[in-house]
């Protein structure tokens, strides 16, 4: 028996160090990382700007608590609000916590309007986290299994179906719509180009908050700071985490307009949230993405992967669709393909399979063409082998 709980299924490898898109295991073998720790290490591993920021801050101060002003937290909030079109920020330590804050904002927003039984519309195939409220909002039965009683107050409808949301227009208990602009865990599901715009219009009409979970799709990965920015949609509440500090734990819930001041003094909090160390790392990440044009690179490399995969495997019957926006990349096969993860590992490539049959690629934003070529080559060969 191991000393760890058995909640994770781990691959038989352990990494010692990394550089850029590459990782080395404890036997010295070198791997190409096409997953970035699940969309976390957008700047790859051991990025000098992030390391430098962490070292500098570690020598100054790690933590004081939110009983006091925290200068790097204020700087990061100002920067994120400018990039995301929002007015206020609440910092926490993970994606699930950011969504908990968003859910609390929606409920308190309803409460302030006299709604005591608030409901939030959520989507089939959604993933919002593993805490009780966020798993209750998640559209995947397996994640909820055995954890009843769940948190009430979520109405689940099909993804990419505006009419299904519109059907609740007369329900006076609805306070918000919560949606991923691109579903990550759900299988890199990309909705119609006008889906979010239509949800925005519905929310405006019904006085609902639009909450976008950009925990996987945000921080440049889609080729914009937020995936919702491709369609020019401004959400009321936006959650970010994964890629924000390149591996230092952080989450943030951003709020705009009428959502910005819903949480008053004493209504919410986090001991670690927004500590100087995490905020300095996040500031370095944002700076580096900007100064190196990494969003443009994510767009270009996404297009490059798409072109390469289309040429190599696009015509195979076994390949259902190739879906992508920047470096959120999914190849859906006709049959389950979970075993490709360990087969790729044998070829020294890190990939993921989600939603049973979708190969998910989330490489660092600084991926270059020769690295993209290796991904195309190895994954295409695995698919060809898989379908024989
Ligand atoms: C990963 C993820 C979460 C949960 O984030 P944690 O940091 O694991 O709590 C929530 N929403 C989306 C879209 C995610 O991809």
DSSP annotation of 183 reads B
pLDDT at 95 over 90: yes
At residue 197, the 3 state secondary structure works out as: helix
Among 218, 241, 270, 278, say which to mutate for ligand 1: greatest number of ligand atoms within 8 Å of CB: 241
Q: Compute the average pLDDT of residues 193-217.
A: 98
pLDDT tens per residue across span 330-348: 999 999 999 999 999 999 9
Q: Compute the average pLDDT of residues 344-353.
A: 98
Q: Compute the average pLDDT of residues 310-336.
A: 98
Domains of the chain: 15-33+293-386 (3.90.1150.10), 50-291 (3.40.640.10)
Instruction: Tell whether ligand 1 has an atom less than 6 A from the beta carbon of residue 154.
Output: no
Helix (H) or strand (E) holding 187: none
DSSP annotation of 188 reads S
Q: How large is the C-alpha radius of gyration of the chain? A: 21
Q: Look up residue 301 and give its two tokens.
A: 């490399």
- What is the rounded average pLDDT for all residues in the chain? 98
Instruction: Tell whether ligand 1 has an atom less than 6 A from the beta carbon of residue 182.
Output: no
Distance 384 CA to ligand 1 centre (A): 32
Known catalytic residue at 79: no
- CA-to-CA distance for 70 and 98, rounded, in angstroms? 19
The atom of ligand 1 lying closest to the CA of 183 is 13
CB atoms within 10 A of CB 143: 17
Catalytic one of 127, 154, 309, 329: 127
Catalytic one of 213, 236, 309, 329: 213
The atom of ligand 1 lying closest to the CA of 216 is 15
pLDDT tens per residue across span 246-258: 999 999 999 999 9
Instruction: Tell whether ligand 1 has an atom less than 6 A from the beta carbon of residue 20.
Output: no
Instruction: Tell whether ligand 1 has an atom less than 6 A from the beta carbon of residue 217.
Output: no
Known catalytic residue at 55: no
At residue 254, the 3 state secondary structure works out as: strand
In 3D space, the residue among 15, 2, 126, 20 whose CA is nearest the CA of residue 370 turns out to be 20
pLDDT tens per residue across span 281-312: 999 999 999 999 999 999 999 999 999 999 99
Among 95, 101, 216, 251, say which to mutate for ligand 1: greatest number of ligand atoms within 8 Å of CB: 95
Distance 358 CA to ligand 1 centre (A): 18
**What's the whole-model pTM score?**
0.98
Distance 52 CA to ligand 1 centre (A): 27
Q: Which long-range contacts (CB under 8 A, 24 or more apart) does 20-27 make?
A: 20/44, 20/45, 20/364, 20/366, 21/45, 21/363, 21/364, 21/366, 21/367, 21/368, 21/371, 23/350
Instruction: Tell whether ligand 1 has an atom less than 6 A from the beta carbon of residue 213.
Output: yes
The atom of ligand 1 lying closest to the CA of 126 is 13
Q: What residues contact 141, with CB distance under 8 A and at least 6 apart?
A: none
Q: Compute the average pLDDT of residues 348-360.
A: 98
Helix (H) or strand (E) holding 178: strand 174-179
Instruction: Tell whether ligand 1 has an atom less than 6 A from the beta carbon of residue 96.
Output: yes
CB atoms within 10 A of CB 140: 16
Distance 313 CA to ligand 1 centre (A): 30
- CA-to-CA distance for 141 and 296, rounded, in angstroms? 37
- CA-to-CA distance for 166 and 203, rounded, in angstroms? 9
Strand partners, 323: 330
Distance 127 CA to ligand 1 centre (A): 7
Known catalytic residue at 213: yes
The atom of ligand 1 lying closest to the CA of 185 is 15
Instruction: Tell whether ligand 1 has an atom less than 6 A from the beta carbon of residue 180.
Output: yes
pLDDT at 1 over 70: no
The pLDDT value given to residue 2: 87
* Pair 334, 357: CB distance under 8 Å: yes
- CA-to-CA distance for 81 and 235, rounded, in angstroms? 12
- CA-to-CA distance for 63 and 272, rounded, in angstroms? 8
The pLDDT value given to residue 50: 98
Identify the residue whose tokens are 């989600």.
354
At residue 92, the 3 state secondary structure works out as: strand
Distance 11 CA to ligand 1 centre (A): 21
The atom of ligand 1 lying closest to the CA of 134 is 10
Per-residue confidence at 178, pLDDT binned at 50, 70, 90? Answer: very high
Instruction: Tell whether ligand 1 has an atom less than 6 A from the beta carbon of residue 380.
Output: no
pLDDT tens per residue across span 45-60: 999 999 999 999 999 9
Q: Compute the average pLDDT of residues 91-103.
A: 98
At residue 75, the 3 state secondary structure works out as: helix
pLDDT at 107 over 80: yes
């Amino acid at each position: 028996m191991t000393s760890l709980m058995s909640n994770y299924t781990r691959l038989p490898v352990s990494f010692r160090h990394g550089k850029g898109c590459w990782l080395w295991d404890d036997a010295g073998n070198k791997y190409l990382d096409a997953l970035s720790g699940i969309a976390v290490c957008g700047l790859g591993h051991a990025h000098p700007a992030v390391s430098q920021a962490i070292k500098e801050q570690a020598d100054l101060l790690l933590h004081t608590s939110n009983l006091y002003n925290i200068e790097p937290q204020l700087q990061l909030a100002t920067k994120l609000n400018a990039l995301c079109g929002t007015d206020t920020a609440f910092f926490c330590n993970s994606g699930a916590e950011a969504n908990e804050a968003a859910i609390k904002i929606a409920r308190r927003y309803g409460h302030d309007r006299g709604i005591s039984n608030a409901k939030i519309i959520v989507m089939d195939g959604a993933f919002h986290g593993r805490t009780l409220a966020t798993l209750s909002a998640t559209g995947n039965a397996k994640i909820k299994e055995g954890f009843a009683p769940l948190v009430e107050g979520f109405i689940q409808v099909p993804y990419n179906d505006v009419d299904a949301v519109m059907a609740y227009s007369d329900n006076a208990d609805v306070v918000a719509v919560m949606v991923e602009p691109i579903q990550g865990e759900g299988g890199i599901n990309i909705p119609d180009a006008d889906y979010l715009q239509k949800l925005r219009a519905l929310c405006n009409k019904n006085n609902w908050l639009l909450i976008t979970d950009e925990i996987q799709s945000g921080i440049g990965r889609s080729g914009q700071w937020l995936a919702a920015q491709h369609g020019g949609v401004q959400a009321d509440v936006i959650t970010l985490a994964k890629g924000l500090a390149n591996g230092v734990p952080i989450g943030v819930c951003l709020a705009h307009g009428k959502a910005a001041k819903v949480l008053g003094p004493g209504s919410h909090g986090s001991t670690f949230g927004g500590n100087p160390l995490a905020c300095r790392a996040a500031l370095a990440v944002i700076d580096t993405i900007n100064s190196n044009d990494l969003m443009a690179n994510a767009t270009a490399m996404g297009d490059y992967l798409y072109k390469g995969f289309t040429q190599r495997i696009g015509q195979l019957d076994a390949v259902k669709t190739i879906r992508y926006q920047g470096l959120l990349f999914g190849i859906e096969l006709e049959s389950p393909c979970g075993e490709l993860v360990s087969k790729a590992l044998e070829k020294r490539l890190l990939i993921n399979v989600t939603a049973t049959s979708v190969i998910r690629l989330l490489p660092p934003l600084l991926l270059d063409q020769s690295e993209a070529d290796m991904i195309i080559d190895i994954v295409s060969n695995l698919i060809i082998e898989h379908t024989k």
